[in-house]
Amino acid sequence: MAHPYAWLDKSLNAIHRADWYRSVQTLSGLPGPIVCLEGQQVVNFASNDYLGLAGDPRLIQAAIGATQEFGTGSTGSRLLSGHRSLHCQLEEAIAALKQTEDALVFSSGYLANLGTIAALVGQRDLILSDQYNHSSLKNGALMSQAAIVEYAHCEVADLKAKLIQHRALHRRCLIVTDSVFSMDGDLCPLPDLVALAEEFECMVLVDEAHATGVMGTNGAGCVEYFGCTHTPLIQVGTLSKALGSLGGYVAGSAALIDFLRNRSPGWIYTTGLSPADTAAALAAVRIIGQEPERRERLRQHVQFLTQGLQDRVQSRGQSPFNLRPSHSPILCLQVADAATVVKLGRHLRQKGFFVAAVRPPTVPTSRIRITLMTTHKRQSLESLVNTLQDLSNL
């Protein structure tokens, strides 16, 4: 008889053969634009800490202060013994940033998506989901047991055709999308989605994980960027990227949040966010309001790097890189296959650059994913372009 766990080795071998094998790498010291990765100083183009707040002394002090005052853990679920005044303060601050009636903090962005989608729709309902949505949105849809129909990435005409075909057969309908797509950095066509939602009586859930703090004049995200601030929406996001902490949130109407507090297992049956994470995120939301120059500098970095990549890397005849369109601090260079991207990632690392070499199954096609931080030095961006230019000649 075969060993019941023998299949694990076989599967791992298959993952190796496909060049899909992944493992962790250790970073030491504070997060920032230059980090120590496995003992090597590298310029960090692989972080989601877009505003450079994860190592900011104000967030660190807030976390220390909250730990001293409230302890390390919140010790219970929010509805039992896990609720602290800090949670309310953070929820009020998020609602103020998003200009919504209320907000609810979850233990992670992943959980916020699972917990919200699964609470809002069920077997009699329909989910229309962008094909490139984040894993947490896809798994939330599966958990909900609603009928799931994917539409082609950002294709409004395809979404409309699918609404015409399916909407009338279901009770509620939820359109689900990333706002900044995490693997390409492109933006969803939010105003068009909102218009279709009105026409077909649908709710819209937009995941602002990569947009909060970054997009929009006040950093409220793509909802603000697209002028949809007072549109009835379900805005979900994370505290772990531009906010430099850990946790997730949902922002929307008072009724939505009240419903989730009563019906979302992913919020009800889990321990409240730790005091340290809550306080750090609260400090970050305040900084986002007070320091718009962080966003402005990040926008300038995006422009500079995009221009450099277009002029000096992309335009070369034999270049292995194909720059994907983006309006966010996530810039992607698509490459031919998984083996090439791994090789390029290794070369870049040898030259002192830490970038993500992303492969299937995370994405449909392999790519070098570069994320920018407001705290990067212009000189680091220039060196990255120079190095990529050299690599495009290899």
Alpha helix ranges (H) inside 56-84: 57-70
CA nearest neighbour of 207 among 262, 130, 273, 260? 130
- Determine which residue in the list 45, 70, 110, 225 makes contact with ligand PMP, applying CB under 6 A: 110
- Determine which residue in the list 115, 216, 248, 272 makes contact with ligand PMP, applying CB under 6 A: 248
The dihedrals phi and psi of 216, each to the nearest 5 degrees, come to: 85, 150
Q: Does 138 interact with ligand PMP (rule: CB under 6 A)?
A: no
Rounded CA-CA distance 2/53 in Å is 51
Is residue 163 within 8 A of residue 200, CB to CB? The reply is: yes
CB of residue 199 to ligand PMP, shortest distance in Å: 26
In one-letter notation, the amino acid at residue 319 is S
Rounded CA-CA distance 191/197 in Å is 10
CB of residue 277 to ligand PMP, shortest distance in Å: 10
The vertex-207 CA angle with 76 and 88, nearest 5°, equals 35
Cβ-closest position to ligand PMP: 109
Rounded CA-CA distance 94/96 in Å is 5
The dihedrals phi and psi of 146, each to the nearest 5 degrees, come to: -75, 160
* Burial (Cβ within 10 Å: 0-12, 13-18, ≥19) of residue 312: middle
- Determine which residue in the list 109, 115, 244, 272 makes contact with ligand PMP, applying CB under 6 A: 109
Rounded CA-CA distance 203/386 in Å is 46
CB of residue 275 to ligand PMP, shortest distance in Å: 18
Is residue 257 within 8 A of residue 250, CB to CB? The reply is: yes
CB of residue 111 to ligand PMP, shortest distance in Å: 7
Size, binding site for ligand PMP by CB under 6 A: 14
CA nearest neighbour of 143 among 265, 307, 321, 295? 265
Q: Both tokens of residue 218?
A: 């006040």
- Determine which residue in the list 44, 47, 74, 108 makes contact with ligand PMP, applying CB under 6 A: 108
Restricted to residues 259-278, the positions that interact with ligand PMP (CB under 6 A) are none
Is 275 or 320 the residue whose CB approaches ligand PMP more closely? 275
- Determine which residue in the list 87, 134, 138, 301 makes contact with ligand PMP, applying CB under 6 A: 134
- Determine which residue in the list 177, 238, 326, 366 makes contact with ligand PMP, applying CB under 6 A: 238
Stretch touching ligand PMP by CB under 6 A, among 69-77, 103-111, 168-176, 379-387: 103-111
Is residue 324 within 8 A of residue 181, CB to CB? The reply is: no
Rounded CA-CA distance 6/53 in Å is 45
Stretch touching ligand PMP by CB under 6 A, among 105-113, 193-201, 307-315, 382-390: 105-113
Rounded CA-CA distance 364/366 in Å is 7
CB of residue 7 to ligand PMP, shortest distance in Å: 28
CB of residue 286 to ligand PMP, shortest distance in Å: 20
Q: Does 235 interact with ligand PMP (rule: CB under 6 A)?
A: no
CB of residue 158 to ligand PMP, shortest distance in Å: 21
Is 214 or 313 the residue whose CB approaches ligand PMP more closely? 214
Q: Does 240 interact with ligand PMP (rule: CB under 6 A)?
A: yes
Restricted to residues 168-227, the positions that interact with ligand PMP (CB under 6 A) are 178, 182, 207, 209-210
Q: Which residues bind ligand PMP (CB under 6 A)?
A: 108-110, 113, 134, 136, 178, 182, 207, 209-210, 238, 240, 248
